[in-house]
Amino acid sequence: MATRGEAFAGLSVAMVTPLKAGQIDYDRLQEHVEFQIAAGTTCLVPVGTTGESPTVSHEEHERVITAVVKAARGRAKVMPGTGSNSTAEALRLTRWAAQAGADAALVVAPYYNRPNQEGLYQHFRALAEAVDIPICVYNIPGRTGCDVEPQTIVRLAELKNIAMVKEASGKMDYASHIAAATDLTVLAGDDSMTLPVMAVGGRGIVSVVGNIVPQDLIALVKAVDAGDLQQAQQWHRKLFQLCRDLLGLATNPVPIKAAMKLLGRDTGELRMPMLPLDAAGEDRLRRTLGTYGLL
C-alpha cells in the first residue's frame, strides 16, 4: 500500500552539524550533503537532534536549513528539524523551512513542558494548517518527556499535511498501530529498529549511522522492500553493533561525531554542554569501526 509520505520512503539521514572553532563549518556541511547524495540517500535531515538543534542559535538554525536546501539543489529531499517546546517558535521555524524550499519538516514533540494529548494534537494541528509542506511527527519520549500516543497520531492523520511519523519510542506496538490504522508513512527513529519497524509496515529510517555508512542502510531497506528477509537479516546483523555503539556509548550525537572525526570527516567538535567521548569510549568506538571494516 502506498503511504502518504511515500516520496520519503527509504533512507533519511539525520545530519551532524559540522563545527570548527565554535562556528558552523558550511564548507564541510556542503561536503556532507554531497557525500549523502552520491550514496543515494533519499532525504537529508539537518538541524535535528543529531544536528545539535538545542544548541544552535535561531539564526544558525535558519541558515543551516537554507544552506542544505541550496546545496541539495533538488537532488535529494530535505526535511529539516523545526520542532520546539513553544508552538510559536516551531511555527516560525517550520514556516522558514517552507519558504526556504524544504520538502518537509521534522517536528519533534514539545519537550520539557509535557503537554497532554490534546495539547500535542493542537500543537501539530497549528503547524499543519499553517504550511503547505508535509510534516513528520517525531515521537521520542526518552528525549522529550512526553509520548505522542497512537490514538493522537490517528487523529492527526485526518489533517492533510501530516504525512509521516518518526517513531522512536522503542514500542513496536506504536509502529504497528499507526501503520495499521493510518496511511501515514512510518519511519524508524532508531537505527537498530529499521528491520523490525519495516517488518510491521514502516517505510524506512531516519538514521544517525547513515552519516557514515549510508549505502549499507540503503541495502537493508531495499532488501526489505524486495521481500528478501534473509538478506535483510544479514544487513541487520552486520549493522547491529555499529548502531548500538553509535547510539549507546554516549548521548547522540557524541558518538557519531567521534566516529566521523576518526574517519577524517569531521572535527568531532560539539557545543556545550555536550562533551566528546572519554578515552575508554573512543577506544571502544575505534575497535567497533575497525571490526566493521571502516578503519
Catalytic residues: 138, 166
Closest Cα partner for 144 from 105, 106, 112, 190? 112
> How many Å separate Cα 264 from the centre of its chain?
22
How far apart are the C-alpha atoms of 192 and 239, rounded to whole Å? 8
Closest Cα partner for 246 from 237, 233, 256? 256
What residues pair up with 105 in beta bridges, in sequence order? 135
Mapped onto helix, strand or coil, the DSSP state of residue 246 is helix
Pairing status of strand 19-20 against strand 23-24: antiparallel
Contacts of the segment 18-26: beta carbons below 8 A, 24+ positions apart: 18/266, 18/267, 19/267, 19/269, 19/270, 19/271, 20/267, 20/269, 21/269, 22/269, 22/271, 24/56, 24/60, 24/63, 24/64, 25/267, 26/67
Cβ proximity of 100 and 47 under 8 Å: no
How far apart are the C-alpha atoms of 11 and 19, rounded to whole Å? 24
- Grid cell in block for residue 211: 552519516
Closest Cα partner for 209 from 220, 222, 201, 200? 220
The torsion defined by the Cα of 118, 121, 123 and 124, in degrees rounded to 10, comes to: 170
